[in-house]
Amino acid sequence: MTKEELKSRLGELLPSATFEEGTEWTTIMIDPSAWKGIARQLRFTPGLDLDYLFCLSCVDWKTHFTMVYHMESTLHRHILVVKAKLDRSDPEIATVSDIWRTAEFHEREAYDLFGVRFTDHPDLRRLFMTEEWKGWPLRKDYEDPVNMIKL
Amino acid sequence: MIEELSTTEQGELVINIGPQHPSTHGVLHLIITLNGETIRKVEPHLGYIHRSIEKMCESLSYRQFIYVTSRMDYLSSHINNHGCALCVEKGLQIEVPPRAKVIRVLMDELTRMASHQLWWGALAMDVGALTPFFHAFREREAINDIMEETCGARLTMNYIVPGGVMIDLHPNFQHKVKEFITLFSSKIDEYDDLVTDNVIFRGRMEGVGYLSKEDAISYGCSGPTARGSGVSCDIRKLYPYEVYEQLKFEEIRVTGGDCYARYLVRMGEMRQSLSIIGQLIDNIPEGEFQAKTKAVLKLPKGEFYSRVETARGEFGVYIVSEGGTTPYRIKFRSPGFSNLSALDHMARGHKIGDLVAIMGTLDLVIPDIDR
Amino acid sequence: MDVGNKTADPFPGEVHPTAGGGIVVSKLDEIINWARSNSLWPLVFGTSCCAIEMMSTAGAKYDWSRFGFEVARATPRQADVIVIAGTIVNKMAPVLKRLYDQMADPKYVIAMGACATSGGPFFYNTYSVVKGADHVIPVDVYIAGCPPRPEALLHALITLQEKIRSGATREQIKVEKP
């Protein structure tokens, strides 16, 4: 599907989503509490079939977090970017590791580095840092006077 | 440290294939639950080479952060640098001169071949054959010599910069690459004779580690791991960049899903790379090797994503910029990270020797996974 | 006994020719050092990029088995020298210490590359890198480079051999008690 067709199809399927303008790929912003239902729709609706989740990242804007999901359909070859704003004091969003199996490791990484909790994740624990590590390293306010030598 | 378990409640044995092990291709810690000798569950523990690259890049400028990606997947270091340079050029709308494009693709394909040569030698060594290792390194030295003359380094070369390449080709480059093509065309048949049709090798590879097409897509696998299960995912064909549109090469896909299929994909890719280099080496256009850019690069506010095909799969660079001289957030989508998540699924029900064969065909480079 | 002899590696001692052969007079320490330096077995330990250059040194073009480093053992119990090829991070440091403790005396350590020497390119603004492997275990020889060429690694191995033969390693320096 082209970008315009995808935009109109998503507009009728997900009335609550807002679109971002001026980006390379179709980008929508959704409400995190509705993410699980929307993810199922994106994966299983014929015509959308977004089955390849290739990037799951988290960005720390000092007042809130944004989860960014890049996904592609191997059948129709269109790409969609989904964003969700999370509250910084208690970041929580539904897991999608049962829909796209690759999300299991990616969500553990986001938990380890940012502290975002994924509800119903089968095994949410730290991935890169040791189990006893305190703090969420990739947050903008992370201070570590022992290890980090600032230039 | 991790709690030490020696048996589970069902009486199964829990053992370590620890961080220091000759066949883990780096520092991968696997905790395996065994029932007798059959594997019930494989749990990878990562982080033994987590160098906090993403945090470090937030304080490096757009010209400086590229050197770090050489060290992430050090066997495809040119291709990683290429991905970063493409992302920065996308943000700044820089037009790369044609000579630089051809040079970049030549270096990419040489790197891909060097990486597959090392993979072949290491896989054969893991499975028990020690001789192919020396054959592989002998040919790899030929590529390293070519790289050293032009780029100055053998392994981690920061040659590709935003705008083009850092310095022009050495005058000997064309001649040496042509010599290499004639040398390697006969050597790759030798590789096939040595290993591909060997009865013992086939017995160890066929039927081991099956990954179906749907599972490969769901686990996010890319590169030869997914192409060995029949998934069409070569970024050079689907979203071509640089001069790949004008080249004649095939995407090697084998429907088999087992280790032998993934092995055949990589052997086919080596031949395709050789043909790409043969098509380009006589047609390098004259001109500039680097576009004129400012000394200090500042990307406009926004997000940029670029995808390239490394020897392991799809490498993605995601830059979020706030308009400054350093990126606000960089995320590197590494191919090994997703390929590794399919290991547990593939290895259940096999023996430990099969696990080693599966890891060999996944071609993991752990610093790429841990970043 | 000379320290700077880089070319020949003769058996240490004086040969006194007599009828029917000869008698060799030497010091036991020197013979032991000579034997130890010529058969150091490295441990297979590579964490990141320097491991590839270490493998190239083991390959056919820059062969390290000419100098006695023929058999690379996978287990620390049978190894003499550990070549730390790659960055050491906080999670890996206890593992490295445990490997060093498992090795039997006499044991030697080579820190290969900028990362193992001092943290290397990952020195500033990283929260998880140990800035130099000598924070964890004592190091005998340091190699500079990122990654160092195979010839640099061979030079370091030869330097280690000379260090052993000249009696300058840790166990051999005997401190006079006051």
Cβ-Cβ contacts under 8 Å, C46 against chain B: 26
Res B4: pLDDT: 56
Alpha carbon of residue B11 to chain centroid: 39
For the four alpha carbons of B271, B151, B66 and B299, in that order, the dihedral sign comes to negative
Write the CATH number for C120. Answer: 3.40.50.12280
Q: DSSP for A91-105?
A: -EEE--TTTSTTHHH
What CATH code is assigned to A3-119? 3.30.460.80
Q: Express each pLDDT in C121-155 by its tens digit.
A: 888 888 889 998 889 999 999 999 888 999 999 99
Res B276: pLDDT: 92
B45-70 burial by CB neighbour count: b if 16+ within 10 A, else e? bbbbbbbbbbbbbeebebbebbbbbb
Mean pLDDT of chain C: 85
Full-model pTM:
0.90
- Please answer yes or no on whether A57 and B331 come within 8 Å at the CB atom: yes
Domain boundaries, chain A: 3-119
B82: pLDDT confidence band, cut at 50, 70 and 90? very high
In a domain, C15, yes or no: no
Question: Is pLDDT above 70 for B13?
Answer: yes
Separation of alpha carbons B61 and B52, rounded Å? 16
User: How confident is the model over A136-147, as a mean pLDDT?
Assistant: 85
- Please answer yes or no on whether A127 and B47 come within 8 Å at the CB atom: yes
C1: pLDDT confidence band, cut at 50, 70 and 90? very low
Question: Is pLDDT above 60 for B2?
Answer: no
In a domain, C171, yes or no: no
Q: Express each pLDDT in A81-96 by its tens digit.
A: 999 999 888 888 999 9
Domain boundaries, chain B: 61-370
Nearest to A54 among B220, B231, B345 (CB): B220
In a domain, C166, yes or no: no
Separation of alpha carbons B243 and B236, rounded Å? 9
- Please answer yes or no on whether C127 and A151 come within 8 Å at the CB atom: no
DSSP C89: B
C2: pLDDT confidence band, cut at 50, 70 and 90? very low
Burial class (CB in 10 A: 0-12, 13-18, 19+), A3: middle
Topology given in CATH for the domain delimited by B61-370: Cytochrome-c3 Hydrogenase; chain B (1.10.645)
Res C8: pLDDT: 52
In a domain, C120, yes or no: yes
Q: Are B330 and B305 in contact (CB under 8 A)?
A: no
Mean pLDDT of chain B: 89
Q: Which amino acid is at B328?
A: Y
In a domain, C176, yes or no: no
User: How confident is the model over B237-261, as a mean pLDDT?
Assistant: 89
Q: Which chains touch C (3 or more CB pairs under 8 A)?
A: A, B
In a domain, C19, yes or no: no
Res B1: pLDDT: 37
Q: Express each pLDDT in B225-236 by its tens digit.
A: 999 999 988 999
Tell me, yes or no, if C93 comes closer than 8 A to chain B by beta carbon. no
Nearest to C129 among B19, B52, B118 (CB): B52
Separation of alpha carbons B202 and B204, rounded Å? 5
Question: Which residues contact residue B291 at a Cβ distance below 8 angstroms, ignoring those fewer than 6 apart?
Answer: B94, B95, B96, B97, B100, B163, B164
Cβ-Cβ contacts under 8 Å, C94 against chain B: 1
In a domain, C114, yes or no: yes
Q: Express each pLDDT in B297-307 by its tens digit.
A: 888 998 999 99
C172: pLDDT confidence band, cut at 50, 70 and 90? low
Beta-ladder partners of C43: C73, C82
Q: Express each pLDDT in B351-371 by its tens digit.
A: 888 898 998 888 889 999 988
**The total number of structural domains that make up chain C:** 1
**Helix, strand, or coil here: A135?**
coil
In a domain, C9, yes or no: no
Res B5: pLDDT: 59
SS3 letters across B126-151: HHCCCHHHHHHHHHHHHHHHHHHHHH
Separation of alpha carbons C173 and C155, rounded Å? 23
Res B261: pLDDT: 92
CA angle C50, C55, C57 (to 5 degrees): 95
For residue A147, what is the nearest residue in chain C, using CA coordinates? C127
Which one, of A69, A123, A101, A58, lies nearest residue B341 by Cα?
Answer: A101
Range list of H helices, B228-334: 235-238, 259-280
Res C16: pLDDT: 86
CA angle B261, B264, B269 (to 5 degrees): 130
For the four alpha carbons of B271, B274, B278 and B280, in that order, the dihedral sign comes to positive
Nearest to C60 among B21, B50, B137 (CB): B137
- Please answer yes or no on whether C49 and B155 come within 8 Å at the CB atom: yes
Q: Work out the percent of chain B whose per-residue pLDDT is above 70.
A: 97
Question: Is pLDDT above 90 for B79?
Answer: yes
Quote the domain boundaries for residue C82: 41-159
